[in-house]
Chain A
Amino acid sequence: MRSNLIIPGLLGILIFLFPIVFPKSYWITIFIYVGIYGLIVVGYDLLLGYCGQISLGHNALFAIGAYATAIATKWFGWPPLAAMGCGVCLTCLIAFLVGIPTLRLKGYYLAIATMGFAFIVESLVRSTYFGGSSGVTNIPPFKLFGFVFDSDRSYYYLVWGLVFLSILVCLRICKTALGRGMKAVHTDEEAAGCMGIDVARIKLQAFVLSAALAAIAGSLYAHYGATIAPGSFNIMVSVKLLLMLYLGGAGTIYGGILGAFILFALPEFLGHLERLEMALEGFVFMLILIFVPGGLLGGLTRLLKLTKGHFLRNKHDTSEGFGGVNIGLKIGDR
């Protein structure tokens, strides 16, 4: 039980200390975006890494969250928290309605169907009703009980506080019967159904939950950037989510965050090699996926397990003798 708290605790300390150690607003800005994408990818991991349901429509869910908040606060003057809540509810409702028919599909079919949904939302967002291709500008900053989030640092703590919370929630879900049910659905839907798992329901729940996180991220994105445009919500967002998840390690909850960090921070380290950026990134991704198929975090845990297993085996060798004697006695007793 205690050991379960070590990693989240370390992460919490890391999150808290980062802006103190790296006070440059340049790094903080990058990390706010890492956090916003991290928020989506944590939910995405629940859906794809655990439930095994691939969605290419998460950019649309992200967009709905962002546009709902932007429009409610700017055009109707709603308080940001209410606007965010409303955006999350709307996104969940839409995800629910889209999920019922599409989640019956499997594999590529589900990916393509959700992509279709994303195209519909994208074209809606591009229409003049929602500000056209220039989007919505001058979105007021996020406010919480009278406190205005107007500095990078305040946004950093808001975003990463939520990331931390979402990680804790998802970890709890994954460590209980729900998480096992999701993994079972991932491997064999028919067998999972015969074990009493309502397959359609568990998939829909994961989809709606990941939609809620995407909507929160969208809302934060709108308030932090103050401007949103359709270009930030195209299909590439979903592709990036996929990349983040598989780079970091699917089915690990933390992995996506690591992937988001790599995707956003890696280009910054490349510096003057900027022109080669995409090629280099692509090369790194290929290397990781070929040589560490479980993603970075997956590979790391496997390495830890291997070294631990080796260590345990050495310890085991000495006790094996006793085990053997014990078994012998048992048989004798009968």
Chain B
Amino acid sequence: MDHPILTGLRVCKNFGGLQALLNVDFEIRPGSIFAVIGPNGAGKTTLFNLISGVYQDYMGEICFNSEPVSHRPAHFIANKGISRTFQNVRLFKNLSVLENVMVGCHGWVSPKYSRSIFGIRSAAKEEQVIRDWGREMLGFVGIDHKVDREVESLSLGDQKLLEIARALAARPKLLLLDEPAAGLNDFDMGKLKEIIFGIKEQNITQMIVEHNMNFIMSISDRIMVLNFGMKIAEGTPKEIVCNEKVIEAYLGKEQKFA
């Protein structure tokens, strides 16, 4: 049995009295697709923000490849190999499509002033490597024909794909996708599904928050269900659809009238 790539131990977070997450434990197997679902406000995005280091003040422990990464800043965690996308697309609007992806390479390039200023040849080479890698990532998600476009001229679907390309450019071992299918039409969703399977083939573990049930059931290996900050179930898609607690959380308790 291989070690889990990401483990969370009694993870708690509260926002000024509002308990967003309470004692959430989880374990993610390397190479798998792990989905987090739950009604609105269940704490799914909060969990992502804790893992990726956007919030650093929380309780509990998160380990990545058996190494504790809890309470560390975002760039530290990103450079360890955890990359993410955002629920509301957060691209760098002052950069072109290709440049956005190139920013994703920042971690493994570790740019230096000395090289930038004096190493004219090595800097040019570095740029070329990043540019080629960026194009490859754009090609992977299928928008490489739009490299020089402005970000805002892309459709929402393409912007979401661009965010995935940007996250992949960091060469992550774990990819956090926050509602990748939200706002996509059926055609784009089909493309997205192919991309997610493509990422899985490259042995990159994925953790996905999603609302679209058909979508999530068809792609995930394991599903964790959160409700009001607490984990109420975990299992394979088949187990989750039959789980009474989950049904209750989504549809409410069966009422007995007469």
Interface residues of A (CB under 8 A from B): 1, 169, 172-173, 175-178, 180-181, 183-184, 186-188, 190-199, 205, 209, 251
Contact = CB atoms under 8 A, between A and B. Distances in A.
Nearest to A181: B106
Contacts of B166: 195
Contacts of B30: none
A193 B74 contact: yes
B107 A195 contact: yes
B78 A181 contact: no
Contacts of B253: none
Interface of chain B: mostly helix, strand, loop or mixed: helix
A177 B95 contact: no
A173 B116 CA distance: 6
B52 A194 contact: yes
Interface in B69-118: 73-75, 78-79, 83-84, 86, 90-95, 99, 102-109, 111, 113, 115-117
B117 A173 contact: yes
Contacts of A187: 92-95
4 closest residue pairs by CB, A with B:
A196-B107, A193-B74, A177-B111, A196-B78
B123 A176 contact: yes
B170 A195 contact: yes
A69 B107 CA distance: 39
Given A177-B109, A199-B75, A184 B103 contact: yes
A194 B83 CA distance: 7
B127 interface: yes
Contacts, number: 103
B129 to A, nearest CB: 10
Contacts of B84: 194
Contact of B111 (A1, A181, A190): A181
Q: Which of A175, A177, A188, A192 has the most CB of B within 10 A?
A: A177
A178 B111 contact: yes
A176 B95 contact: no
B146 to A, nearest CB: 13
B126 interface: yes
Given A187-B92, A196-B75, A177 B130 contact: yes
User: Chain B contact residues (Cβ within 8 angstroms of A): what range?
Assistant: 35 or more
B5 interface: no
14 contacts: A177-B109, A181-B103, A183-B92, A184-B106, A187-B92, A193-B53, A193-B54, A194-B53, A195-B75, A195-B106, A195-B107, A196-B107, A198-B73, A251-B94
A180 B54 contact: no
Contacts of B130: 177
Interface of B: 52-54, 73-75, 78-79, 83-84, 86, 90-95, 99, 102-109, 111, 113, 115-117, 120, 123-124, 126-127, 130, 166, 170
Contacts of A198: 73, 75
Q: Counting chain A CB atoms within 10 Å of each CB, which of B79, B83, B92, B109 scores highest?
A: B92
Nearest to A170: B117
A191 B53 CA distance: 11
Contacts of B79: 196
A43 to B, nearest CB: 13
A187 B79 CA distance: 20
Contacts of A176: 111, 115-116, 123, 126-127
A205 B114 CA distance: 12
Given A183-B92, A191-B90, A194-B52, A177 B75 contact: no
B54 A192 contact: no
B90 A190 contact: yes
B163 to A, nearest CB: 9
B25 to A, nearest CB: 24
Contacts of B93: 187
Of A192, A193, A196, A205, most B-chain CB atoms within 10 Å:
A196
B117 A177 contact: no
Contacts of A209: 113
A143 to B, nearest CB: 27
Nearest to B105: A177
Contacts of B95: 180, 183-184, 187
Contact of B106 (A188, A190, A196, A251): A196
A193 B92 contact: no
Given A173-B113, A177-B109, A194-B74, 20 more contacts: A169-B117, A172-B120, A173-B116, A177-B102, A177-B103, A177-B130, A183-B95, A184-B106, A188-B92, A190-B54, A190-B90, A193-B53, A193-B54, A194-B54, A194-B83, A194-B84, A195-B75, A195-B83, A197-B75, A199-B74
Contacts of B92: 183-184, 187-188, 191-192
Contacts of A184: 92, 95, 103, 106
A269 B95 CA distance: 38
Contacts of B105: 177
A187 B84 CA distance: 17
A178 B194 CA distance: 34
A193 B113 contact: no
